[in-house]
Amino acid sequence: MVEVRELHEMAEFEQVNALFDDIWHFGTGAPPITVELMRALAHAGGYVAGAFDGGRLAGGSVGFLASGNALHSHVTGTAAGRGIGLALKLHQRRWALERGLGRITWTYDPLMRRNAHFNLAKLGARPREYLPCFYGVMDDAINRGDESDRLLTVWPLSDPHVERLARANALGRADALGQADALARAEPRGPDGFPPDAVVALADVGGRPVAGPVDAGTVLVAVPADITGLRGADPGTAKTWRHAVRDVLGGLMAEGRAVTGFSGKSYYVVEKM
């Protein structure tokens, strides 16, 4: 059973720091948050929480209050499996609602397919802005050798589709996965699981990005299956994907088109509004 709770003691913040270093392996690079800053944020009313699996710290999340009646989730890291990330997000949502906050924002790498599916299909969050090389050059083991493009993502906590997904997720891990997927598929879909009028603006052809038409009401933008592995195995192709997604997805968003979902665990769904 996963228990999520707020953290207040220096020893707890040190555990979170160690967990984050185990995940990202910062080396000589600066971590995204320090023990001292976690202490200050927690004392000042910010969000610092840990997820415990059998008494062992398996996830941590740190956020601060932001403009627009929001909590900005700055960094979240979890051990793999057992629904740790979902448990943290549901706790974060309850925490924000109890304080009268209407939304939670965060950034994530648009090339991380698993994160895109989790954020958009499981939680119902929506990207609002494409941010090229947002954090500059990063030197951790996961991001090393790549540019730090990010999607600024908004989670409107009381929107009906978010509430439906939250209720399904709260039923439990097994039920949550099935019901949240069913809700994500509730809108009309073609035989391949995509909106019937969609065209592919960026396709994955043999592991490489290939641009297609964008002049349609609904377009699909592919991301690679495993960008983390690709960075190590073929950094040139990883860089090609980075710039292709930046040009296509970032360009569509700059035109005012909205990212409305993540379909087939492979494609961003982008629509004219």
Contact 25, 140 (CB under 8 A): yes
Give the list of residues 6+ apart from residue 8 with CB closer than 8 angstroms, or none: 42, 48
- Output phi, psi for 129, to 5 deg: -150, 135
Domain ranges in the chain with CATH number 3.40.630.30: 2-179
Contact 28, 139 (CB under 8 A): yes
**How many angstroms separate the Cα of 114 from the Cα of each of 11, 29, 60, 119, 266?**
31, 25, 18, 9, 9
pLDDT tens for the chain, residues 1 to 273: 889 999 999 999 999 999 999 988 887 667 889 999 999 999 999 999 999 998 899 999 999 999 999 999 999 999 876 789 999 999 999 999 999 999 999 999 999 999 999 999 999 999 999 999 998 877 665 677 678 999 999 999 999 999 999 999 988 643 444 444 444 444 555 545 677 789 999 999 999 999 999 999 999 999 999 999 998 899 999 999 999 999 999 999 999 999 999 998 999 999 998
Query: Which pTM value belongs to this model?
Result: 0.89
Q: Which burial class, exposed, middle or buried, applies to 144 when counting CB atoms under 10 A from its CB (0-12, 13-18, 19+)? A: middle
What is the architecture, at CATH level 2, of domain 2-179? 3-Layer(aba) Sandwich (3.40)
Contact 120, 128 (CB under 8 A): no
CA separation for the pair 170, 25 (Å, rounded): 32
